[in-house]
Amino acid sequence: MVNLANIPTDSQFQSRTTYRIRNKVIYCLDGARIGIQYETFFAGEPCEIYHCVLESKSFLEKMTVTEHTLPFFLPIREVETDHLSSNAIRFIDHLEEILQSYIDRREQGSSYQGALRQPNRGIVLQSSIYLDRVYIGRL
């Protein structure tokens, strides 16, 4: 069942073939293009929406990522090389996992920062830009 609250009111978007699968909306665009909308969540609450467009010169050629709103440091090109040439669904699902992992780590880091900002604690929390490392230390 389609949740109409999540579909934009754009009449062009509503006239397109659209599939909602878990936290993704996949829709057909003009030509050999596919749009994917990723909805991210943390602790059951919605966070941000990201978009990715896949395009192919023809239906026989492999697809490539032509535009996206994903964070620049996510390994999109590596995932594209590893998965998109063989299976677009695997690429879409793997990118969803990477994006949700990033959101989870970012929000966990923010939660830790808030907890550690209590007065007179003297504890510092820093993370790398990729959020793959978190450093906790004392002042």
For 82-96, write each residue's pLDDT tens digit: 888 888 889 999 999
pLDDT in tens, 19-53: 888 899 999 988 888 999 999 999 889 999 999 99
Query: Pick the residue with more confidence: 7 or 50?
Result: 50
Query: Pick the residue with more confidence: 111 or 103?
Result: 103
For the entire predicted model, the pTM comes to 0.71
Domains contained in the chain, number: 1
From residue 99, alpha-carbon distances to 23, 24, 34, 95 in Å are 11, 12, 18, 6
3-class DSSP assignment, residue 24: strand
pLDDT tier at 2, thresholds 50, 70, 90: very low
Domain containing residue 100: 4-138
